[in-house]
Structure 1
Amino acid sequence: MSIVLTPFARPRLFPRVPRGNTIQDTTPEAFEAHLNAQAPVAVLDGYAPFCKLHVHRNWTSTRCLTVPITEANRHLLRSAYEARNSAELPVLVRWFEGVTAPRAEYLVVILYSAEQLAKEGAPIDADWGVVGCLYTAEPAEIPMAPITMMRNALGVEEGGSGVPLDPEAYRRSVAFWERNANWRP
């Protein structure tokens, strides 16, 4: 099985100007090589048949993606309308400023099949393409953000995958994201 970083994931995981809330201590090429050389500690089913999650022990200093919201840090939450790239419409996002997450124990790599990526107009020369990565304390998935679920349900034209909204998964996502937020340095 071969794995490559997709053009969608590369700038999000490895921005030109490094940030403290992205993957640390490795290059995109070394990250890709590690995924192809090291077996994951677990393989989880994703939200659709074309999506798999490869759980790897964190071999970097990458920090957790989210931080629990508490009364002590709630005042540090910020929000804005942002797009993931220039082809997508901005959506409301929320994050902490002035909070640093602990080092992640796991990197949960989100993979899409080559067939799905071709359907989305992003063909790859491998079996699987990295579309994202979760940095977690536990070897488990962080629920997809509610807005990402909605975008996926809208279809490929809107930057999604065309997978219909699952109301129960959406409710679980809302429950998680009401209690947690991403952070930015």
Structure 2
Amino acid sequence: MSIVLTPFARPRLFPKKPRPNTIQDITAAEFEQYLNRNEPDRVLDGYAPFCKLHVHRNWTSTHCLTVPISDSNRHLLKSGYEARNKDELPVLTRWFEGVQAPVANWLVVILYSREQLAKEGEAIDADWGIVGCLYTEQPEDIPMAPITMMRNALGVAEGGSGVVLERAAYQRSVAFWEANANWR
């Protein structure tokens, strides 16, 4: 089984100008090499048959992706309209400024099959393509953001995967993201 970073994930996980809320201590090439040489601690099913999650103990100093919202940090939440890349429409997002998450215990690598990526216009020369990575305290997935679920339901033309929105999963996502936020 071979794994590569997709053009979609590379600038988000390994930006040209490093940020403290992205993967630390390694290059994109070293990340790919590690994933291809080391078996994950767990493999989880993703939100669709073409999606798998490889759970690896964090071998970097990467910090958790999210921070719980509390009365003591709520005033540090910011929001704005942003697109994940130049081809997507901006959507309302929120994040913390002025907080730092603890170092993550786990890196949960989100993989899409070669066939799904071809449908989405991202041909790869590997079995699986990395589309994202979650940095977590527990060796498990965190719910996809509600807006990502909606974008997926809109289809490939709008930057999604074409997976229909599942109401119960959406409600679990809202519950998680009402209580947590990303940080910068």
Q: TM-score range by the shorter chain?
A: over 0.9
CA distance in 2, matches of 1:41, 1:51: 17
Alpha-carbon shift at residue 143 of structure 1 (Å):
0.3
Residues 6-155 of structure 1 aligned to structure 2 (within 5 Å): 6-155=6-155
Alpha-carbon shift at residue 115 of structure 1 (Å):
0.2
Counterpart of 2:30, as a letter, is A
CA distance in 2, matches of 1:151, 1:6: 18
Alpha-carbon shift at residue 158 of structure 1 (Å):
0.1
Counterpart of 1:76, as a letter, is L
Alpha-carbon shift at residue 14 of structure 1 (Å):
0.1
Alpha-carbon shift at residue 173 of structure 1 (Å):
0.1
Q: TM-score, normalised by structure 1?
A: 0.99
Counterpart of 2:14, as a letter, is F
> Is it true that 1:176 corresponds to 2:141 in the alignment?
no
CA distance in 1, matches of 2:110, 2:145: 14
Counterpart of 2:18, as a letter, is P
Q: TM-score, normalised by structure 2?
A: 1.00
Alpha-carbon shift at residue 39 of structure 1 (Å):
0.2
Alpha-carbon shift at residue 80 of structure 1 (Å):
0.1
CA distance in 2, matches of 1:142, 1:62: 16
CA deviations on 1:95-119 (whole Å, 9 max, x unpaired) are 0000000000000000000000001
Query: How many residues are paired up?
Result: 184
Counterpart of 1:18, as a letter, is P
CA distance in 2, matches of 1:119, 1:15: 25
Alpha-carbon shift at residue 78 of structure 1 (Å):
0.1
Unmatched segments (≥5 aa) in structure 1: none
Aligned to 1:163: 163
CA distance in 1, matches of 2:56, 2:134: 10
Question: Hey, which bits of structure 1, 4+ residues long, moved more than 4 A?
Answer: none
Alpha-carbon shift at residue 92 of structure 1 (Å):
0.2
SS at match of 1:111: strand
SS at match of 2:19: coil
Alpha-carbon shift at residue 47 of structure 1 (Å):
0.2
CA distance in 1, matches of 2:142, 2:104: 12
Alpha-carbon shift at residue 83 of structure 1 (Å):
0.3
Alpha-carbon shift at residue 27 of structure 1 (Å):
0.3
Alpha-carbon shift at residue 129 of structure 1 (Å):
0.1
Unmatched segments (≥5 aa) in structure 2: none
Counterpart of 1:52, as a letter, is K
Give the share of equivalent positions with the same residue, in percent. Answer: 77
CA distance in 2, matches of 1:124, 1:79: 34
SS at match of 2:150: helix
